[in-house]
Protein backbone atom coordinates (compact mmCIF):
# COMPACT_ATOMS: atom_id res chain seq x y z
CA UNK A 1 0.00 0.00 0.00
CA UNK A 2 1.27 3.49 -0.78
CA UNK A 3 -0.41 5.63 1.89
CA UNK A 4 -2.36 4.82 5.06
CA UNK A 5 -4.33 7.66 6.66
CA UNK A 6 -5.20 7.73 10.37
CA UNK A 7 -7.67 10.41 11.38
CA UNK A 8 -11.03 11.42 12.77
CA UNK A 9 -13.83 9.63 10.92
CA UNK A 10 -16.40 12.42 10.69
CA UNK A 11 -19.62 12.84 8.72
CA UNK A 12 -19.88 16.38 7.30
CA UNK A 13 -23.24 18.16 7.50
CA UNK A 14 -23.08 21.15 5.14
CA UNK A 15 -25.25 24.26 5.64
CA UNK A 16 -25.23 27.79 4.22
CA UNK A 17 -25.41 30.64 6.75
CA UNK A 18 -25.23 34.42 7.03
CA UNK A 19 -22.31 36.07 8.86
CA UNK A 20 -24.82 37.09 11.54
CA UNK A 21 -25.36 33.40 12.42
CA UNK A 22 -21.65 33.10 13.24
CA UNK A 23 -21.56 36.21 15.43
CA UNK A 24 -24.82 35.28 17.19
CA UNK A 25 -23.32 31.91 18.11
CA UNK A 26 -19.84 33.27 18.99
CA UNK A 27 -18.15 31.39 16.15
CA UNK A 28 -14.87 32.60 14.62
CA UNK A 29 -14.99 32.44 10.82
CA UNK A 30 -12.73 29.88 9.08
CA UNK A 31 -11.84 27.96 12.26
CA UNK A 32 -12.93 24.66 13.80
CA UNK A 33 -14.64 24.63 17.19
CA UNK A 34 -15.29 21.51 19.25
CA UNK A 35 -18.86 21.26 20.55
CA UNK A 36 -20.79 18.72 22.61
CA UNK A 37 -23.83 16.84 21.34
CA UNK A 38 -26.35 19.31 22.81
CA UNK A 39 -24.59 22.33 21.27
CA UNK A 40 -24.40 20.51 17.95
CA UNK A 41 -28.12 19.74 17.94
CA UNK A 42 -29.02 23.30 18.97
CA UNK A 43 -26.99 24.78 16.12
CA UNK A 44 -28.41 22.32 13.61
CA UNK A 45 -32.02 22.93 14.71
CA UNK A 46 -31.85 26.45 13.17
CA UNK A 47 -30.37 25.38 9.86
CA UNK A 48 -31.29 23.80 6.54
CA UNK A 49 -28.99 20.93 5.54
CA UNK A 50 -27.59 21.27 2.00
CA UNK A 51 -25.71 17.97 1.92
CA UNK A 52 -24.36 15.16 4.14
CA UNK A 53 -20.99 13.67 3.11
CA UNK A 54 -18.40 11.37 4.69
CA UNK A 55 -15.52 13.60 5.76
CA UNK A 56 -12.63 14.04 8.15
CA UNK A 57 -9.49 15.87 7.04
CA UNK A 58 -7.09 12.97 6.40
CA UNK A 59 -9.94 10.79 5.08
CA UNK A 60 -10.66 13.49 2.46
CA UNK A 61 -6.99 13.43 1.43
CA UNK A 62 -6.99 9.63 1.25
CA UNK A 63 -10.09 9.62 -0.99
CA UNK A 64 -8.39 12.19 -3.25
CA UNK A 65 -5.32 9.96 -3.44
CA UNK A 66 -7.50 6.98 -4.36
CA UNK A 67 -9.18 9.01 -7.11
CA UNK A 68 -5.70 9.69 -8.51
CA UNK A 69 -5.13 5.93 -8.76
CA UNK A 70 -3.05 5.30 -5.63
CA UNK A 71 -3.45 2.25 -3.38
CA UNK A 72 -4.57 3.67 -0.02
CA UNK A 73 -6.17 2.76 3.29
CA UNK A 74 -7.72 4.52 6.27
CA UNK A 75 -8.11 3.97 10.02
CA UNK A 76 -10.76 6.00 11.86
CA UNK A 77 -13.29 5.17 14.56
CA UNK A 78 -17.05 5.10 13.91
CA UNK A 79 -19.99 3.58 15.76
CA UNK A 80 -22.06 0.74 14.36
CA UNK A 81 -24.93 3.14 13.68
CA UNK A 82 -26.56 4.58 10.56
CA UNK A 83 -23.92 7.28 10.05
CA UNK A 84 -21.12 4.79 10.75
CA UNK A 85 -22.48 2.44 8.09
CA UNK A 86 -22.75 5.34 5.61
CA UNK A 87 -19.22 6.39 6.43
CA UNK A 88 -17.75 2.96 5.71
CA UNK A 89 -19.78 2.65 2.49
CA UNK A 90 -18.47 6.05 1.37
CA UNK A 91 -14.85 4.92 1.75
CA UNK A 92 -15.34 1.56 0.09
CA UNK A 93 -17.13 3.18 -2.85
CA UNK A 94 -13.97 5.24 -3.38
CA UNK A 95 -11.76 2.10 -3.31
CA UNK A 96 -10.23 2.98 0.06
CA UNK A 97 -9.34 -0.04 2.20
CA UNK A 98 -10.89 0.50 5.65
CA UNK A 99 -8.77 -1.00 8.44
CA UNK A 100 -11.27 -0.68 11.26
CA UNK A 101 -13.93 -3.11 12.48
CA UNK A 102 -16.80 -1.06 13.83
CA UNK A 103 -18.84 -2.19 16.81
CA UNK A 104 -21.57 -0.83 19.10
CA UNK A 105 -20.17 2.10 21.10
CA UNK A 106 -21.49 4.40 23.84
CA UNK A 107 -20.93 7.45 21.64
CA UNK A 108 -22.35 8.07 18.15
CA UNK A 109 -20.33 8.49 14.96
CA UNK A 110 -18.67 11.92 14.85
CA UNK A 111 -20.28 14.77 12.94
CA UNK A 112 -19.03 18.14 11.71
CA UNK A 113 -21.33 21.04 10.96
CA UNK A 114 -19.76 22.95 8.06
CA UNK A 115 -21.15 26.47 7.85
CA UNK A 116 -20.54 28.16 4.50
CA UNK A 117 -20.87 31.95 4.31
CA UNK A 118 -21.41 34.02 1.15
CA UNK A 119 -17.63 34.64 0.82
CA UNK A 120 -17.17 30.82 0.45
CA UNK A 121 -15.30 30.59 3.76
CA UNK A 122 -16.10 27.59 5.93
CA UNK A 123 -16.51 27.55 9.70
CA UNK A 124 -16.71 24.17 11.42
CA UNK A 125 -18.38 22.95 14.60
CA UNK A 126 -17.33 19.40 15.36
CA UNK A 127 -18.94 16.91 17.69
CA UNK A 128 -16.25 14.22 17.71
CA UNK A 129 -18.39 11.46 19.19
CA UNK A 130 -16.57 8.14 19.05
CA UNK A 131 -14.04 9.47 16.46
CA UNK A 132 -12.14 11.25 19.23
CA UNK A 133 -11.74 8.07 21.26
CA UNK A 134 -9.29 6.38 18.92
CA UNK A 135 -6.63 4.48 20.85
CA UNK A 136 -3.63 2.24 20.21
CA UNK A 137 -5.83 -0.88 19.95
CA UNK A 138 -7.50 0.66 16.89
CA UNK A 139 -4.21 0.97 14.99
CA UNK A 140 -3.58 -1.98 12.68
CA UNK A 141 0.19 -2.54 12.97
CA UNK A 142 0.45 -4.56 9.75
CA UNK A 143 -1.38 -1.88 7.77
CA UNK A 144 1.10 0.73 9.11
CA UNK A 145 4.16 -1.43 8.41
CA UNK A 146 2.97 -2.25 4.89
CA UNK A 147 2.49 1.40 3.88
CA UNK A 148 5.12 3.63 2.31
CA UNK A 149 3.73 6.63 4.22
CA UNK A 150 1.46 6.97 7.26
CA UNK A 151 -0.52 10.24 7.10
CA UNK A 152 -1.82 11.67 10.41
CA UNK A 153 -3.87 14.74 11.32
CA UNK A 154 -3.36 17.23 14.14
CA UNK A 155 -7.07 17.08 14.97
CA UNK A 156 -6.48 13.62 16.46
CA UNK A 157 -4.96 15.29 19.52
CA UNK A 158 -8.20 17.02 20.46
CA UNK A 159 -9.83 14.41 22.66
CA UNK A 160 -9.35 11.14 24.53
CA UNK A 161 -5.94 9.55 24.49
CA UNK A 162 -4.75 9.68 20.90
CA UNK A 163 -1.10 10.02 21.91
CA UNK A 164 -0.73 6.25 22.32
CA UNK A 165 -2.34 5.68 18.91
CA UNK A 166 -0.06 8.35 17.43
CA UNK A 167 3.06 6.86 19.02
CA UNK A 168 2.18 3.34 17.91
CA UNK A 169 1.65 4.54 14.33
CA UNK A 170 4.85 6.60 14.28
CA UNK A 171 7.01 3.85 15.81
CA UNK A 172 5.92 1.37 13.15
CA UNK A 173 5.86 3.71 10.13
CA UNK A 174 8.29 3.70 7.24
CA UNK A 175 7.70 7.44 6.74
CA UNK A 176 5.35 9.82 8.61
CA UNK A 177 3.43 12.80 7.23
CA UNK A 178 1.12 15.03 9.28
CA UNK A 179 -1.16 17.98 8.71
CA UNK A 180 -1.22 20.63 11.44
CA UNK A 181 -5.01 20.84 10.75
CA UNK A 182 -6.12 24.20 12.19
CA UNK A 183 -4.76 27.35 13.87
CA UNK A 184 -6.66 26.76 17.13
CA UNK A 185 -5.58 23.11 17.05
CA UNK A 186 -1.92 24.22 16.85
CA UNK A 187 -2.41 26.63 19.75
CA UNK A 188 -4.06 23.93 21.88
CA UNK A 189 -1.22 21.44 21.40
CA UNK A 190 1.83 23.57 20.60
CA UNK A 191 4.49 21.74 22.71
CA UNK A 192 3.40 18.32 21.37
CA UNK A 193 3.25 19.55 17.77
CA UNK A 194 6.64 21.25 18.01
CA UNK A 195 8.21 18.03 19.27
CA UNK A 196 6.60 16.03 16.45
CA UNK A 197 7.60 18.65 13.87
CA UNK A 198 11.25 18.68 14.99
CA UNK A 199 11.80 15.03 15.84
CA UNK A 200 9.22 12.64 14.37
CA UNK A 201 7.71 13.86 11.10
CA UNK A 202 9.24 13.36 7.66
CA UNK A 203 6.65 15.58 5.95
CA UNK A 204 4.61 18.37 7.55
CA UNK A 205 1.64 20.09 5.88
CA UNK A 206 0.58 23.49 7.19
CA UNK A 207 -0.94 26.77 6.14
CA UNK A 208 0.89 30.03 6.75
CA UNK A 209 -1.02 31.00 9.93
CA UNK A 210 -0.49 27.57 11.51
CA UNK A 211 3.27 27.44 10.94
CA UNK A 212 3.75 31.05 12.13
CA UNK A 213 1.85 30.18 15.32
CA UNK A 214 3.78 26.94 15.84
CA UNK A 215 7.13 28.73 15.61
CA UNK A 216 5.92 31.83 17.53
CA UNK A 217 6.90 34.27 14.81
CA UNK A 218 5.22 36.84 12.56
CA UNK A 219 8.03 36.69 10.00
CA UNK A 220 7.70 34.10 7.23
CA UNK A 221 11.43 34.35 6.38
CA UNK A 222 12.13 32.96 9.85
CA UNK A 223 9.92 29.96 9.03
CA UNK A 224 11.95 29.30 5.87
CA UNK A 225 15.28 29.59 7.73
CA UNK A 226 14.06 27.27 10.51
CA UNK A 227 12.75 24.73 8.00
CA UNK A 228 16.04 24.70 6.07
CA UNK A 229 17.99 23.99 9.26
CA UNK A 230 15.54 21.26 10.28
CA UNK A 231 16.21 19.32 7.09
CA UNK A 232 12.71 17.81 6.76
CA UNK A 233 10.14 18.30 4.02
CA UNK A 234 7.72 21.07 4.97
CA UNK A 235 4.85 22.04 2.65
CA UNK A 236 3.01 25.31 3.32
CA UNK A 237 -0.05 26.78 1.62
CA UNK A 238 -0.17 30.60 1.63
CA UNK A 239 -3.60 31.50 0.22
CA UNK A 240 -3.28 34.06 -2.59
CA UNK A 241 0.53 33.75 -2.41
CA UNK A 242 0.41 30.13 -3.55
CA UNK A 243 2.41 27.38 -1.87
CA UNK A 244 5.99 26.64 -0.89
CA UNK A 245 7.92 23.47 -0.10
CA UNK A 246 11.18 23.52 1.86
CA UNK A 247 13.40 20.45 1.84
CA UNK A 248 16.86 21.03 3.37
CA UNK A 249 18.30 23.85 1.20
CA UNK A 250 15.77 23.42 -1.59
CA UNK A 251 12.97 26.01 -1.57
CA UNK A 252 10.31 25.59 -4.26
CA UNK A 253 7.31 27.89 -4.82
CA UNK A 254 4.13 27.45 -6.82
CA UNK A 255 1.47 30.00 -7.84
CA UNK A 256 -2.25 29.52 -7.32
CA UNK A 257 -4.59 28.92 -10.25
CA UNK A 258 -6.22 32.20 -11.28
CA UNK A 259 -9.79 33.05 -12.35
CA UNK A 260 -11.53 30.29 -10.43
CA UNK A 261 -15.11 30.62 -9.24
CA UNK A 262 -14.78 29.68 -5.57
CA UNK A 263 -17.86 28.01 -4.09
CA UNK A 264 -16.60 26.39 -0.87
CA UNK A 265 -13.09 26.33 0.62
CA UNK A 266 -13.80 23.33 2.90
CA UNK A 267 -11.53 20.75 1.27
CA UNK A 268 -8.80 23.04 -0.10
CA UNK A 269 -6.03 21.93 2.27
CA UNK A 270 -7.09 18.27 2.31
CA UNK A 271 -7.03 17.95 -1.47
CA UNK A 272 -3.83 19.98 -1.75
CA UNK A 273 -2.17 17.40 0.52
CA UNK A 274 -3.63 14.59 -1.63
CA UNK A 275 -2.15 16.08 -4.80
CA UNK A 276 1.25 16.69 -3.22
CA UNK A 277 1.47 13.21 -1.67
CA UNK A 278 0.44 11.70 -5.02
CA UNK A 279 3.43 13.41 -6.59
CA UNK A 280 5.71 12.40 -3.74
CA UNK A 281 4.92 8.65 -3.81
CA UNK A 282 5.04 8.57 -7.61
CA UNK A 283 8.51 10.17 -7.76
CA UNK A 284 7.47 13.50 -9.25
CA UNK A 285 9.65 16.52 -8.49
CA UNK A 286 8.74 18.84 -5.61
CA UNK A 287 7.60 21.47 -8.14
CA UNK A 288 5.37 18.95 -9.93
CA UNK A 289 3.98 17.75 -6.59
CA UNK A 290 3.10 21.33 -5.59
CA UNK A 291 1.43 21.81 -8.98
CA UNK A 292 -0.63 18.62 -8.50
CA UNK A 293 -1.67 19.82 -5.04
CA UNK A 294 -2.66 23.19 -6.47
CA UNK A 295 -4.67 21.55 -9.26
CA UNK A 296 -6.58 19.27 -6.84
CA UNK A 297 -7.25 22.15 -4.46
CA UNK A 298 -8.52 24.35 -7.30
CA UNK A 299 -10.92 21.62 -8.42
CA UNK A 300 -12.48 20.99 -5.00
CA UNK A 301 -13.10 24.66 -4.11
CA UNK A 302 -15.33 25.03 -7.17
CA UNK A 303 -17.93 22.72 -5.63
CA UNK A 304 -19.66 22.20 -2.27
CA UNK A 305 -18.00 19.68 0.04
CA UNK A 306 -14.48 18.38 0.58
CA UNK A 307 -14.48 15.56 -1.96
CA UNK A 308 -14.34 15.54 -5.76
- Helical spans, DSSP H, in 161-207: 162-172, 183-188, 190-199
β-strands 176-179, 149-153 pairing = parallel
Q: What are phi and psi of 132, to 5 degrees?
A: -75, -5
Is residue 228 assigned to a domain? yes
Q: Which is more confident, 58 or 259?
A: 58
Residue 173: DSSP 8-state: -
Is residue 53 assigned to a domain? yes
Question: What torsion, rounded to 10 degrees, do the Cα atoms 59, 63, 69, 71 define?
Answer: 30
> What's residue 236's pLDDT?
96
Is residue 32 assigned to a domain? yes
**268 neighbors 281 (Cβ within 8 angstroms):** no
Is residue 35 assigned to a domain? yes
Q: What value does the mean pLDDT take over residues 231-259?
A: 92
Share above pLDDT 70 across residues of the chain, in percent, rounded to a whole number: 97
**How do residues 213-240 score in pLDDT, each as one tens digit?**
999 999 999 999 999 988 899 999 998 8
> What's residue 160's pLDDT?
59
**295 neighbors 273 (Cβ within 8 angstroms):** no
Q: What's the Rg (C-alpha) of the chain?
A: 18
CA angle 232/247/306 to nearest 5° reads 85
Is residue 308 assigned to a domain? no
Q: What value does the mean pLDDT take over residues 93-114?
A: 92
- Indicate the number of domains in the chain: 1
CA atoms within 13 A on the CB side of 220: 13
Domain extent, residue 64, equals 3-300
Is residue 306 assigned to a domain? no
> What does pLDDT average to over the chain?
91
**286 has pLDDT over 90:** yes
Q: What is the pTM of this model?
A: 0.88
CATH of residue 208's domain is 3.40.1190.20
Is residue 305 assigned to a domain? no
Amino acid sequence: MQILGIGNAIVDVICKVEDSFLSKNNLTKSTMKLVNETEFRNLLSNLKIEETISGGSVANSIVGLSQLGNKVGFIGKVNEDELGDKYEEGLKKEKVEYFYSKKKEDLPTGTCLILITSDSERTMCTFLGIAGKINENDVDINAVKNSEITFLEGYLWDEGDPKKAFDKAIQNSNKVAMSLSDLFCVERHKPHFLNLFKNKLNITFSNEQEILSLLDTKNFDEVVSFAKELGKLIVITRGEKGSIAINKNEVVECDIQKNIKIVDLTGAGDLFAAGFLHGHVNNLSIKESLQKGTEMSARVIQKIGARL
